[in-house]
Amino acid sequence: MTVVCLDLDRTTIYSAAALDLREPDHEAPRLLCVEIYKGAPLSFLTEAAAATLRDLQDVATVVPTTTRTPAQLARVHLPGPPPRFAIASNGGHLLVDGGDGVLRADPEWDLAVRIRLATCAPLAEVQAHLRARGGPFMLALREASELFAYAVVDRAALPDGWVDDLAAWCDQRGWTVSLQGRKVYAVPAGLTKSAAAAEVVARCGGGPLLAAGDSLLDADLLDAADAAIRPAHGELAQTGFTRPHLAVTAATGAAAGEELLGRLYEWATDPAMSVSGSL
């Protein structure tokens, strides 16, 4: 069966600020809330997108694929049956259904990741460098799953060249850097969504891989897919990211979520199209 790796935030699900609804209020689509945070609704998709997602789950192995930690992912309740697999922490955790509908981190994958990352500089060294290079523009510094770090920054106050200097320092130590919205991510080069996606495909017995994502941290996943799609918004859109096997939505915001799920369903029901990369 086809495997579909779906990035979540600003690809499949949207915060209220990211919905980008263009219709007058009385014509706006009905929304389904899929995440509650601190007692308040946080993430949504349209009811039309939810229906298409359920259709997609009938014909493919749908894998939520995210930079969120497992705890952050656990807040998201997508429509349809619980997934068999999920990818969290940018590929650092492969979550597997043990047969009871509960996703748990696969210990073999966790060990493989730790071995792969042993060649990179330790997280503590990168965190210490970020603290030393910080300033009033750095609003918070956090780590995720003891695997990578990110800084929440005031982009307007970010010093010229700061991100480039950080990227050069990290590159020498086997890490990558990306600026996405208000966050600067420092991630080990060996920590990728594509590696975890390949493991899921192998566990499913092979078959085509489809993918969707909007951010720089999704680029390797989209590259690895047989066919992929990104929304017309987000960091990849800002950089003009394109590939021969990559489609781009016409819509932005939550409407792009509807559109890309529909395209993925079309591909999943026509495996020859997805394998050939013919979009």
Which domains are delineated in the chain?
3-114+191-273 (3.40.50.1000), 121-188 (3.90.1070)
Decide if pLDDT at 115 tops 70: yes
**Does the pLDDT at position 83 exceed 80?**
yes
Question: What is the helix (H) or strand (E) element at residue 249, kind and residue range?
Answer: none
Binning pLDDT at 50, 70 and 90, where does residue 276 land? very low
Distance CA 77, CA 53 (A): 13
120-162 per-position pLDDT tens digit: 999 999 999 999 999 999 999 999 999 999 999 999 999 999 9
Which pLDDT score, from 0 to 100, does residue 275 have? 47
Helix or strand (DSSP H, E) at 262: helix 254-268
C-alpha–C-alpha distance, residues 164 and 232, integer Å: 26
> Phi and psi at residue 126, in whole multiples of 5°?
-70, -40
pLDDT digits (tens, 9 = 90+) for 39-64: 999 999 999 999 999 999 999 999 99
Give the largest Cα separation in the chain, rounded: 56
Name the pLDDT band for 271 (thresholds 50, 70, 90).
Answer: low
The C-alpha atoms of residue 16 and residue 13 are separated, in whole angstroms, by 10
Q: How far is residue 214's CA from residue 212's CA, in Å, rounded to a whole number? A: 7
Residue closest to 59 by CA, chosen among 262, 276, 279, 249:
262
Contact status, residue 274 vs residue 227, Cβ threshold 8 Å: yes
Residue 181's pLDDT is what?
83
Res 99: pLDDT: 87
| Residue from 64, 85, 57 nearest 12 by CA | 64
